[in-house]
């Protein structure tokens, strides 16, 4: 491979530029009018503007991105995460134009992108799923019958959902009838697809996901898990590896199930199998993400494997150089997502200009970010501006290092989630590894906002 188009922005675009540079591959950045000053545009070998600020008119315009790819004569497109990364039509168009899509085949995206079909597929492969409806439910009567059969509480989820949006919880028939219609309306508005399905709502679960690598020669391995239980409104805030909850035995079982799920999708490239795990250690598949994830660095830091480079090598047709038995988890890593939001004002977005910027460093610290002093965060995109990752021999070292690094981080001019992270990293519930998906809500309820 000689040249790759990066169909994304922000830190992930920069992450891909870095991997390409180390592999000796040229990069083409595409950017919106709002991202002229962006670091990925400045650091890529070439750059083409593809439209106005709004994502729908730039980073989501498959036609413009493919035209840019053709004009600049690239071999492949890396979609990053979000935007077109899980768009089967886009992957399909790349395939038809003989441009390699760095990700799975469009058929795998289609299969796993529809959450109901995905559950059905992995269930047939023997992977446990959350009890729920067989596919989407259409009418209120049918939905109500299904909810009663599953037993309350239930969660109503959009077939086309993503990013924690389009989910509603109901505890009885009356609230169910209301939430069913709200969920359908929201799904229609957010995803242009109003279909929903129903699952049992697992109480206080842990969100534990497995990183998969699969080459084009049929080999599938996993690189262990990430615990992503620290979430706010179903959106991840902190991720770590290994999970403080898993025993070696459960890790082995879940890893095997994750590989089976990926094999059932005839998967190729990097992907993630997400599970919910209850207190008793029962685990249930919830979905597969058919792309690189935001939280991939924690896996890189515990295994020593560069996932973005592996994505490119797999897309080039290379065989995975490891068997499952070669993979070992060598240390502990934790990631904090730093968002331009004001945690004291209900996480209101806080775009604007960064007057002063100083990123932490030192032993065991990694910062993946596209921002710098003087940079203006545009209001049009995701609010994540940096990922702070720390690692060490033990979980305790990683936590102490994170607290130290958060204390060094200076971002002036805007509000960020750094003070919230600092508070969490001294909280006994989190520090003892006891956080489940309800943790952040519970933490916020008992913590005065003037602490952050
Ligand atoms: P998305 O694709 O929007 O991220 P997921 O299916 O991955 O949606 O779920 C996101 C989060 O929502 C999970 O990590 C978990 O916190 C919560 N969740 C989803 N399904 C259930 C369920 N059946 N029971 C309890 N919590 C759930």
- The reply to whether 192 and 212 lie within a common domain is no
What CATH number does the domain containing 225 carry? Answer: 3.30.470.20
C-alpha 303 – ligand 1 centre gap (Å)? 26
Q: Please tell me the predicted confidence (pLDDT) of residue 449.
A: 85
52, 85, 100 - which closes a domain: 100
- The reply to whether 382 and 423 lie within a common domain is yes
Q: Please tell me the predicted confidence (pLDDT) of residue 315.
A: 98
Q: Please tell me the predicted confidence (pLDDT) of residue 450.
A: 84
C-alpha 183 – ligand 1 centre gap (Å)? 14
- The reply to whether 384 and 348 lie within a common domain is yes
Tokens coding 165: 């949006």
200, 233, 257 - which closes a domain: 200
In ligand 1, which atom is closest to the CA atom of 115? 6
In ligand 1, which atom is closest to the CA atom of 437? 16
Note whether 114 and 191 are within 8 A (CB). Answer: no
- Which residue of 86, 132, 164 sits with most ligand 1 atoms within 8 Å of its CB, as the best mutation to test the pocket? 164
Q: Please tell me the predicted confidence (pLDDT) of residue 360.
A: 98
Q: How many domains does the chain have?
A: 3
Residue 236 included in any domain: yes
**Exposure of 135 by Cβ count < 10 A (0-12 exposed, 13-18 middle, 19+ buried)?**
middle
Pick left, alpha or beta for residue 91 (phi over 0 → left; psi -120 to 50 → alpha; otherwise beta).
Answer: alpha
SS3 state of residue 242 = coil
Q: Which stretch of DSSP H or E encloses residue 235?
A: strand 235-241
Cα–Cα distance for residue pair 389/331, rounded to 1 Å: 13
Residue 135 included in any domain: yes
- Which residue of 234, 272, 277, 279 sits with most ligand 1 atoms within 8 Å of its CB, as the best mutation to test the pocket? 234
C-alpha 437 – ligand 1 centre gap (Å)? 9
Residue 111 included in any domain: no
C-alpha 164 – ligand 1 centre gap (Å)? 7
Q: Mean pLDDT, consecutive 10-residue segments, the chain of 452 residues? A: 98 98 98 96 98 97 98 98 96 97 97 91 97 92 95 93 83 95 91 92 96 98 98 96 98 98 98 97 97 98 98 98 98 98 96 98 98 97 98 98 98 98 98 98 94 82
- Cα Rg of the chain (Å, integer): 21
Q: Could you identify the residue written with the tokens 């109503």?
A: 156
Beta bridge partners of 410: 358
- The reply to whether 404 and 322 lie within a common domain is yes
Residue 117 included in any domain: no
Count of all residues that appear for the chain in the document: 452
- The reply to whether 284 and 390 lie within a common domain is yes
- The reply to whether 242 and 362 lie within a common domain is yes
- The reply to whether 149 and 210 lie within a common domain is no
What CATH number does the domain containing 67 carry? Answer: 3.40.50.20
Residue 125 included in any domain: no
Segment 342-349 long-range contacts (CB within 8 Å, at least 24 positions apart): 342/415, 343/415, 343/417, 343/419, 343/420, 343/449, 343/452, 344/415, 344/419, 344/449, 344/450, 344/452, 345/415, 347/232, 347/417, 349/379, 349/383
- The reply to whether 309 and 374 lie within a common domain is yes
Residue 186 included in any domain: yes
Q: Quick check: bond before 111 cis, omega within 30?
A: no
Residues with CB under 6 A from ligand 1: 130, 155, 161-165, 167, 199-202, 205, 207, 231, 234, 274, 276, 286-287, 437
- The reply to whether 85 and 142 lie within a common domain is no
Residue 18 included in any domain: yes
Q: Which domain holds residue 180?
A: 131-200
Q: Please tell me the predicted confidence (pLDDT) of residue 296.
A: 98
- The reply to whether 318 and 438 lie within a common domain is yes
Catalytic site positions: 291
- The reply to whether 11 and 144 lie within a common domain is no
Q: Is the dihedral of CA 442, 447, 449, 452 positive or negative?
A: negative
In ligand 1, which atom is closest to the CA atom of 166? 3
- Which residue of 286, 436, 441 sits with most ligand 1 atoms within 8 Å of its CB, as the best mutation to test the pocket? 286
200, 217, 251 - which closes a domain: 200
Pick left, alpha or beta for residue 287 (phi over 0 → left; psi -120 to 50 → alpha; otherwise beta).
Answer: beta
Residue 229 included in any domain: yes
C-alpha 336 – ligand 1 centre gap (Å)? 20
- The reply to whether 221 and 182 lie within a common domain is no
In ligand 1, which atom is closest to the CA atom of 284? 23
Nearest-CA residue for ligand 1 atom 15 is 234
Among residues 294, 321, 322, 328, the alpha carbon closest in space to that of 308 is found at 294
What CATH number does the domain containing 142 carry? Answer: 3.30.1490.20
Read off the pTM. 0.95
Note whether 11 and 370 are within 8 A (CB). Answer: yes
């Amino acid at each position: 491979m000689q040249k790759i188009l990066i169909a994304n922005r922000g830190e992930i675009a920069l992450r891909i530029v870095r991997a390409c540079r180390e592999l000796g591959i040229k990069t083409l950045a595409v950017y919106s009018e709002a991202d002229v000053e962006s670091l990925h545009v400045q650091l890529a070998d070439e750059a083409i503007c593809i439209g106005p600020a709004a994502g729908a008119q730039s980073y989501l315009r498959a036609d413009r991105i493919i035209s840019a790819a053709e004009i600049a004569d690239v071999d492949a497109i890396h979609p990053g995460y979000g935007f077109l990364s899980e768009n089967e039509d886009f992957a399909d168009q790349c395939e038809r134009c003989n441009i390699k899509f760095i990700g799975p085949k469009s058929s795998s995206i289609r299969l796993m992108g529809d959450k109901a079909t995905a559950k059905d597929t992995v269930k047939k492969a023997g992977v446990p799923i959350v009890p729920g409806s067989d596919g989407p439910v259409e009418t209120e009567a049918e939905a109500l019958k299904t909810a009663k059969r599953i037993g309350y509480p239930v969660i109503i989820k959009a077939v086309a959902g993503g990013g924690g949006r389009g989910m509603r919880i109901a505890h009885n028939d009356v609230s169910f009838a209301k939430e069913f219609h709200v969920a359908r309306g929201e799904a229609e508005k957010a995803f242009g697809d109003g279909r929903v399905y129903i699952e049992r709502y697992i109480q206080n679960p842990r969100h534990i996901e497995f990183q998969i690598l699969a080459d084009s020669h049929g080999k599938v391995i996993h690189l262990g898990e990430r615990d992503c239980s620290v979430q706010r409104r179903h959106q991840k805030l902190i991720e770590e590896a290994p999970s403080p909850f898993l025993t070696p035995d459960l890790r082995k079982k879940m890893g095997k199930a994750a590989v089976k799920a990926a094999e059932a999708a005839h998967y190729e490239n990097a992907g993630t199998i997400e599970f919910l795990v209850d207190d008793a250690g029962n685990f249930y598949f919830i979905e597969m993400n058919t792309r690189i994830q935001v939280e991939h660095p924690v896996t890189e830091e515990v295994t020593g494997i560069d996932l973005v480079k592996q994505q490119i090598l797999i897309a080039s047709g290379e065989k995975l150089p490891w068997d499952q038995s070669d993979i070992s988890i060598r240390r502990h890593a934790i990631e904090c997502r730093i968002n331009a939001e004001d945690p004291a004002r209900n996480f209101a977005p806080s775009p604007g200009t960064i007057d002063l910027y100083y990123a932490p460093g030192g032993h065991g610290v990694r910062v993946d970010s596209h921002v710098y002093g003087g940079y203006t965060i545009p209001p049009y995109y995701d609010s994540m501006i940096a990922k702070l990752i720390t690692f060490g021999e033990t979980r305790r070292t990683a936590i102490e290092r994170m607290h130290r690094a958060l204390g060094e981080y200076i971002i002036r001019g805007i509000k960020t989630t750094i003070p919230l992270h600092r508070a969490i990293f001294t909280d006994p519930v989190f520090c003892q590894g006891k956080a489940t998906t309800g943790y952040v809500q519970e933490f916020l309820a008992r913590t005065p906002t003037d602490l952050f």
